[in-house]
Amino acid sequence: MAVLGTDEILIERGGTLYKAPVSDLPAGDGSGGAFSFCQVRNTDTTTDINVATAADIPFGGTTDATDDDYTLAASSITVNFEGIVNVQAHISQESADERTNVGIWITKNNTQMSGVGKSGYIRAASDHNDSSSHMSATFAVADGDVIRVRGERRGAGQAVAQTAGESQVTVERRGGASSNLSVSENLTAGFSSDIEAVGTISTGTYTPAIGDAQENIKSLTNGGAFTLAVPATNGPISIQVTNNASAGAITFASGYQKVGGDDLTTTDGHDFFIHIIRIGAFASVSVEALQ
């Protein structure tokens, strides 16, 4: 048996387990891909979910958590990415009638993706008037796929409604495009990039960075003399610089081994590209005048 230190993990590669430092974990949930999730709870308490013909359950209405990876509706969650998801569905139900039991399952684009949860039996005696059904599933999704929870009668035919705020559906992104790739990839498509608007720099030192909300492509306004430092991480960065009426001299920090290209001016309205590349202990910067 492998004995792990407090700063070690086990990583599986090709069916073999290897010890590795915790620092080898990729960004996100440790699965090698991006991580995010959404969680919603129901507001609908009037729809009869104990139906003879399977129908979608309106599980939404209250949003506990979400981000741009998901588009939420009353009876569906649309994913805005390609990857792997885990879906957890908990449908809380109540009825005054005996022996109802609503079975539930998870669908993607109206195709069943899970088994059927059938634990929602209601006796409707001795104050047993509520119950819940549960199901989970893990599967691949593409951008635009729609996740729903479907229900159907598995017991007596009387009306069953959801209990307010107690049904809950969670979609957890387990993998997909990652900013921390650790395997060889053969890319067959180009990728566009957002432009990070840095704002006006007029004094001190500006250190360009790559990270969350910090893009490889940036724009800034030269509003006064400042120093451009070497990025702290490896990679290429391109900055579009526009001079305003207060533009000052841009000084390149001593950490750049090579400075090349055109001269920077302080003329109002002049534009430039500044291209930076850092690889380990080495960094270079070049200037491209755009007028």
Determine the pLDDT at residue 6. 53
Give me the residue label for tokens 């080898």: 24
Q: Mark whether 243 and 278 lie in a shared domain.
A: yes
Determine the pLDDT at residue 24. 47
Determine the pLDDT at residue 32. 45
Q: Write the CA distances from 45 to 63, 134, 165, integer angstroms.
A: 16, 18, 9
Q: Mark whether 43 and 75 lie in a shared domain.
A: yes
Q: For position 108, which CATH number holds?
A: 2.60.120.40
Determine the pLDDT at residue 31. 44
The structure tokens listed for 186 are 């053969």
Q: Mark whether 202 and 283 lie in a shared domain.
A: yes
Cα three-residue angle 42-48-54, rounded to 5 degrees: 95
DSSP designation for 152: E
Determine the pLDDT at residue 194. 87
Q: Mark whether 157 and 203 lie in a shared domain.
A: no
Determine the pLDDT at residue 124. 78
Give the residue numbers spanning the domain of 86: 36-176
Determine the pLDDT at residue 29. 42
Phi then psi for 23, rounded to 5 degrees?
-65, -15
Q: Mark whether 218 and 128 lie in a shared domain.
A: no
Determine the pLDDT at residue 166. 95
CB 252 within 8 A of CB 259: yes
Mean pLDDT by 10 residues, the chain (291 residues): 51 50 46 74 96 96 93 96 93 90 95 92 82 94 95 90 95 67 61 89 96 88 98 94 98 96 97 97 97 95
Residue 3 falls inside a structural domain? no
